[in-house]
């Protein structure tokens, strides 16, 4: 154990910090070399990365419940952002209030290691409970629309995001990496996939893949991201997770395709609402949904892939 | 001095967690917010929390300069609220049943505050009106600044509080709130020019809001 963390997870965290240091130095060097150009946005983004990664790593160093509370808090911020940008009725405030209460309960199931309840609580109980609250309020004009939006928001930001915590808590036989290892594997692969798709798309791409949703996404970027992440995941997976080399490659494929989709789904929401960012919480990045867009899709899919292959060692 | 400490303590321990965590601000152009008077912050009005959000944005060491001009019928409505409003928030009470006498008294108090380099927080629409809908701007602010050459008016547009805490409810539901701060305006030739420039500024700032308004405003107005 290094600082209370499994050694493989600690090694990855060290790598991430080193990468960030290199990025910061190159950013400085770039700004010095080309004083004529404005790098404020790039600097802001890098600084925000320091804050996000620093905060998250700090939480990982603390005892287990802190990570659970931290991820629950991310769900809260994301759900709040979602409800804030989507037009809804004033009478929905009461149902929305109940939707927020689903957050502590959902993470509580994980805290008590009750996998069966964790996995059905939102798709079954919250799904049926919210419309019940809404009929008590009684306003039927716009009922379907509101019921649909509230549940969709809770699924994206609470159910999907809580899989990050599930991954962290899931018992694993790779004790050198632990649950932290699997969680960090997912986070790094997802974020690096975004970067690869962007960079490859910028340098090689011309044929657009879904021009109506995002004019910046190209076939080259998508395929480049998929191949790089599949290879990288195959290399890193056995070190950080219970997966074998081939299983890790498939995990990389899943993460890459899911990340691409999540990114586009949040883009589609923003296009629909005619806004550029979902919030202004993170300077240079936008809102929390802007930052977590890919993760919302990769977290549950990667988790269930692992779960399908290896199961949850405790309760099922 | 004690009142100043009370205000800092209240903002730091209660108001900021409430505003930045329970709610959440999408702030644009925060660096334009004046920290030294004489200046006037002229914001649109959705909720009683408007004042609270603006106070939460002040740096702690400039907090004592922020003076909300707030409706007496709410902020002085009973003994406890009145103590809180005068000692902690340090408001300048505004009697909404204006007659000539108390209107002159209000102007005197505002001028006194501006003379002491304080920053007035004013809602030029008067009352809260319908949530998230800009009402008619009144000319009181113009009367305050017409003889001052050094007192800029900062238009501020807020959106979201009408949903987080609409009129007639006590349940504060978490929603993000847009706070878009404009550059200071000054040198108005006449009341009409003042109104025109303020309306244009509010319209421009509203475009930078990202939170959504309620879809059923015509029924809950």
pLDDT tens profile B123-168: 888 766 665 666 677 778 888 888 887 889 999 999 988 889 887 8
**Cβ separation B173–A96 shorter than 8 A:** yes
Residue B94: name the closest of B132, B62, B68 by CA. B68
What CA–CA distance (Å, rounded) separates B58 from B154? 14
Mind spelling out the 3-state secondary structure of chain A? CECCECHHHHHHHHHHHHHHHHHHHHHHHHHHHCCCCCCHHHHHHHHHHHHHHHHHHHHHHCCHHHHHHHHHHHHHHHHHHHHHHCCCCHHHHHHHHHHHHHHHHHHHHHHCCCHHHHHHHHHHHHHHHHHHHHHHHCCCCCHHHHHHHHHHHHHHHHHHHHHHHHHHHCCCCCCCCHHHHHHHHHHHHHHHHHHHHHHHHHHHCCCECCCCCCCCCEHHHHHHHHHHHHHHHHHHHHHHCCCCHHHHHHHHHHHHHHHHHHHHHHHHHHHHHCCCCCCCCECCCECHHHHHHHHHHHHHHHHHHHHHHHCCCCCC
Does residue A190 lie within any of the structural domains? yes
Pairing of strands B39-43, B92-94: unpaired
Helix (H, G, I), strand (E, B) or coil at B136: coil
Bridge partners of A286? Answer: A282
Assess whether pLDDT exceeds 60 at residue A314: no
Instruction: Supply B211's token pair.
Output: 């939170």
A35-39, A45-49, A53-57: segment of lowest average pLDDT: A35-39
A88-92, A162-166, B145-149: segment of lowest average pLDDT: B145-149
Instruction: Say whether residue A77 is in contact with chain B using an 8 A CB cutoff.
Output: yes
Enumerate the residues of chain B whose CB falls inside 8 A of the CB of residue A96.
173
Query: Cα B145 from chain centroid?
Result: 17
Report how many domains make up chain A.
1
Instruction: Say whether residue A141 is in contact with chain B using an 8 A CB cutoff.
Output: yes
Minimum CA–CA partner of B209 in chain A? A275
pLDDT in tens, A104-114: 999 999 999 99
What CA–CA distance (Å, rounded) separates A46 from A62? 25
Does residue B12 lie within any of the structural domains? yes
Q: How far is CA A193 from CA A95, A222, A236, A237, B14, in A?
A: 36, 9, 14, 15, 41
* pLDDT value of residue A35: 83
8 Å CB contact between A84 and B160: yes
Confidence bin at A38 (pLDDT 50/70/90):
confident
Angle made by CA atoms B204, B164, A269, in degrees to the nearest 5: 65
Q: Greatest CA span in chain B, whole angstroms? A: 47
Helix (H, G, I), strand (E, B) or coil at B13: helix
Out of B28, B131, B215, closest to residue A88 by CB: B215
Domain that holds residue A182: 65-310
Q: To the nearest whole angstrom, how far is the Cα of B151 from the nearest Cα of chain A?
A: 30
Out of A90, A277, A280, closest to residue B214 by CB: A90
Does residue A122 lie within any of the structural domains? yes
Instruction: Say whether residue A101 is in contact with chain B using an 8 A CB cutoff.
Output: no
* pLDDT value of residue B108: 85
Instruction: Say whether residue A89 is in contact with chain B using an 8 A CB cutoff.
Output: yes
Does residue A2 lie within any of the structural domains? no
Enumerate the residues of chain B whose CB falls inside 8 A of the CB of residue A150.
none
What CA–CA distance (Å, rounded) separates A10 from B129? 56
**Cβ separation B175–A281 shorter than 8 A:** no
A47-51, A249-253, A293-297, B186-190: segment of lowest average pLDDT: B186-190
Does residue A265 lie within any of the structural domains? yes
Q: How far is CA B94 from CA A136, B64, B76, B141, B155, in A?
A: 40, 19, 10, 13, 20
Instruction: Supply B204's token pair.
Output: 């421009």
What CA–CA distance (Å, rounded) separates A197 from A193? 6
Assess whether pLDDT exceeds 90 at residue A299: yes
**Cβ separation A89–B210 shorter than 8 A:** no
**Cβ separation B210–A275 shorter than 8 A:** yes
Does residue A101 lie within any of the structural domains? yes
* Residue ranges of chain B whose pLDDT lies below 70: 98-102, 127-135, 214-221
* pLDDT value of residue B219: 47
Does residue B99 lie within any of the structural domains? yes
Assess whether pLDDT exceeds 50 at residue A70: yes
Q: Tell me the mean pLDDT in the region A258-281.
A: 94
Report how many domains make up chain B.
1
Tell me the CATH number at B86.
Answer: 3.40.1130.10
Side-by-side strand order, sheet with B92-94: B25-28, B177-181, B153-159, B39-43, B119-122, B66-71, B92-94
**Cβ separation B216–A142 shorter than 8 A:** yes
Does residue A315 lie within any of the structural domains? no
Does residue B217 lie within any of the structural domains? no
Enumerate the residues of chain B whose CB falls inside 8 A of the CB of residue A276.
210
Does residue B218 lie within any of the structural domains? no
Instruction: Say whether residue A265 is in contact with chain B using an 8 A CB cutoff.
Output: no
Instruction: Say whether residue A44 is in contact with chain B using an 8 A CB cutoff.
Output: no
Instruction: Say whether residue A87 is in contact with chain B using an 8 A CB cutoff.
Output: yes
Residue with tokens 């991820």: A71
Residues A119-123: contacts with CB under 8 Å, at least 24 apart: A122/A154, A122/A155, A122/A158, A122/A159, A123/A155, A123/A159
What CA–CA distance (Å, rounded) separates A75 from A160? 9
Does residue B219 lie within any of the structural domains? no
* Chain B residues with a Cβ under 8 Å from any Cβ in chain A: 24-28, 131, 160, 163, 166, 169, 171, 173-176, 210-217, 220
Cis peptide before A231 (omega within 30 of 0): no
Does residue B68 lie within any of the structural domains? yes
Enumerate the residues of chain B whose CB falls inside 8 A of the CB of residue A94.
171
**Cβ separation B210–A91 shorter than 8 A:** no
What CA–CA distance (Å, rounded) separates A95 from B177? 19
Assess whether pLDDT exceeds 70 at residue A134: yes
pLDDT in tens, A231-269: 999 999 999 999 999 999 999 999 999 999 999 999 999
Does residue A11 lie within any of the structural domains? no
Q: What is the ipTM of this complex?
A: 0.89
Pairing of strands B177-181, B153-159: antiparallel
Domain that holds residue B50: 2-212
Does residue A204 lie within any of the structural domains? yes
Out of B24, B131, B215, closest to residue A80 by CB: B24
Out of A100, A278, A279, closest to residue B174 by CB: A100
| DSSP letters spanning B155-215 | EEEEESHHHHS-TT--------EEEEEPPPB---SSHHHHHHHHHHHHHHHHTT--SPPPT
Does residue B221 lie within any of the structural domains? no
Cα dihedral A66, A67, A69, A70 in deg (nearest 10): 110
């Amino acid at each position: 154990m290094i600082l209370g963390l499994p050694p493989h997870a600690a090694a990855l965290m060290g790598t991430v910090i080193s990468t960030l240091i290199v990025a910061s130095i190159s950013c400085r060097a770039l700004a010095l070399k080309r004083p004529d150009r404005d790098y404020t946005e790039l600097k802001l983004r890098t600084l925000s990365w320091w804050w996000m990664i620093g905060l998250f790593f700090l939480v990982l160093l603390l005892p287990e419940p802190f990570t659970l509370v931290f991820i629950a808090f991310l769900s809260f911020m994301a759900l709040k952002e979602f409800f804030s940008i989507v037009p809804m009725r004033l009478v929905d405030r009461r149902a929305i209030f109940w939707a927020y209460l689903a957050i502590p309960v959902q993470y509580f199931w994980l805290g008590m290691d009750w996998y069966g309840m964790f996995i059905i609580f939102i798709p079954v109980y919250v799904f049926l409970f919210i419309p019940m609250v809404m009929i008590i309020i009684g306003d039927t004009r716009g009922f379907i629309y509101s019921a649909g939006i509230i549940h969709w928001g809770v699924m994206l930001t609470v159910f999907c995001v809580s899989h990050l915590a599930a991954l962290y808590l899931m018992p694993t036989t790779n004790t050198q990496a632990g649950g932290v290892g699997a969680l960090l594997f997912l986070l790094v692969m997802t974020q690096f996939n975004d970067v690869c798709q962007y960079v490859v798309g910028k340098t090689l791409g011309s044929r657009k893949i879904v021009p109506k949703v995002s004019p910046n996404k190209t076939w080259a970027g998508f395929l480049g991201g998929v191949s790089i992440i599949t290879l990288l995941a195959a290399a890193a997976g056995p070190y950080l997770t219970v997966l074998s080399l081939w299983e890790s490659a498939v995990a990389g494929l899943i993460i890459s395709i899911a990340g691409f989709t999540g990114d586009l789904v949040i883009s589609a929401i923003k296009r629909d609402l005619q806004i550029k960012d979902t919030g202004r919480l993170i300077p240079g990045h936008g809102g929390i949904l802007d930052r977590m867009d890919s993760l919302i899709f990769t977290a549950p899919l990667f988790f269930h892939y692992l779960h399908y292959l290896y199961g949850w060692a405790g309760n099922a | 001095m004690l009142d100043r400490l009370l205000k800092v303590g209240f903002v730091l321990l209660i108001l900021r967690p409430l505003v930045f965590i329970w709610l959440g601000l999408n702030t644009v152009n925060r660096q334009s917010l004046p920290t030294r008077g004489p200046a006037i912050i002229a914001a649109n009005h959705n909720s009683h929390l408007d004042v609270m959000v603006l106070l939460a944005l002040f740096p702690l060491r400039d907090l004592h300069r922020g003076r909300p001009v707030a409706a007496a019928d709410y902020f002085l409505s009973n003994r406890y609220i009145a103590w809180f409003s005068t000692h902690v928030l340090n408001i300048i009470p505004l009697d909404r049943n204006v007659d000539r006498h108390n209107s002159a008294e209000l102007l005197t108090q505002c001028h006194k505050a501006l003379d002491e380099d304080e920053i007035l927080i004013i809602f030029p629409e008067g009352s809260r009106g319908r949530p998230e809908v800009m009402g008619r701007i009144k000319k009181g602010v113009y009367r305050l600044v017409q003889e001052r050459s050094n007192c800029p008016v900062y238009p501020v547009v807020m959106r979201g509080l009408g949903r987080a805490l609409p009129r007639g409810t006590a349940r504060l539901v978490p929603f993000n709130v847009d706070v878009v701060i404009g550059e200071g305006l000054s040198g108005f030739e006449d009341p009409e020019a003042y109104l025109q420039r303020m309306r244009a500024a509010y319209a421009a700032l509203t475009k930078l809001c990202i939170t959504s308004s309620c879809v059923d405003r015509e029924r809950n107005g």
